Copies of this chain bind each other. A is one copy, B any other.
Amino acid sequence: MGSLVRTGISLDSELLARFDQTIAKKGYGSRSEAIRDLVRGLAIASDVTQNKVVVATLTVVYDHHRPNLSERLIEAQHHYYGKVLAMTHVHLDARNCLEVIIVKGRGTEVQELADHILSLRGVKHGKLVITTTGTRLK
């Protein structure tokens, strides 16, 4: 990891005032922190485009009364053994479950795993979030 550096940016004073207002509402403590977040977002989007290794979380809601679905979800995760880092299960109510599956791999592998799981019969909804391994982002 690198050292902390400072860089200057120039922008219109009104645009800056609106920026300050927006980030205050979101709770940021400083301009630098808010801009770092924007810059990191750009870096992650660029990792995805270049099919680099990313970390992702797949959120899935399903009905565990559906025959064999839990088994097929476990099976799918084992099929991608080595890519799945962890899984958390929450009991939403008597029937409904939410699972978050945390995976690490190239963008295309992660997408394939998500497509496979989201297409299982009985999965009500799901979404993939792609983020960073953190190592190249400070």
Contacts and interface: CB of A to CB of B under 8 A. Distances in A.
Given A27-B119, A33-B121, A92 B6 contact: no
Given A2-B12, A59-B57, A137-B125, A27 B102 contact: no
Contacts of A62: 134
B1 A5 contact: no
A74 interface: no
Interface in A81-129: 85-86, 88, 90, 92-93, 95-98, 100, 102, 104, 115-116, 118-121, 123-127, 129
A95 B5 CA distance: 20
6 contacts: A1-B14, A3-B13, A30-B121, A35-B38, A38-B38, A124-B137
Interface of A: 1-19, 22-23, 25-44, 46, 55, 57, 59, 61-63, 85-86, 88, 90, 92-93, 95-98, 100, 102, 104, 115-116, 118-121, 123-127, 129, 131-138
A127 B125 contact: no
Copies in the complex: 4
